[in-house]
Amino acid sequence: MKRTDQQNRALHLYFRLLADKLNANGLDMKKVLKPGVEIAWNEDMVKNYLWRPIQTVLTQKLSTTELTSGEPGRIYEVLQAHLNEKFCDYDIDVEFPHIPEDRE
């Protein structure tokens, strides 16, 4: 089953929340990925540099549009566990958002 619009919105909200949390803790891309120029995180960078590599390994899917409804949760758990272990001295735990269904 393909992921829902609600899951898609939650996924992108998570990317934005994690980017904000990493930036607030002074964990720019240089500190999280590799040395170089300081670059603040944004939603697209979280998606492309943190989420997508794990997604590709776990699902063999390159695009988030290909994910089934159960796959984002698995990817989220792996990503958060990695970040929490690697950066345990920082508060970067971001709960996956739950966006209510649209009501018409």
pTM above 0.85, yes or no: no
pLDDT tens digits, residue range 28-74?
887 887 777 678 899 999 999 999 999 999 999 999 999 998 999 99
Residue with the bigger pLDDT between 3 and 67: it is 67
Which pLDDT value is given to residue 31? Answer: 80
- The answer to whether 45 and 19 are in contact (CB under 8 A) is yes
| pLDDT at residue 5 greater than cutoff 80 | yes
Distance CA(49)–CA(59), nearest Å, equals: 16
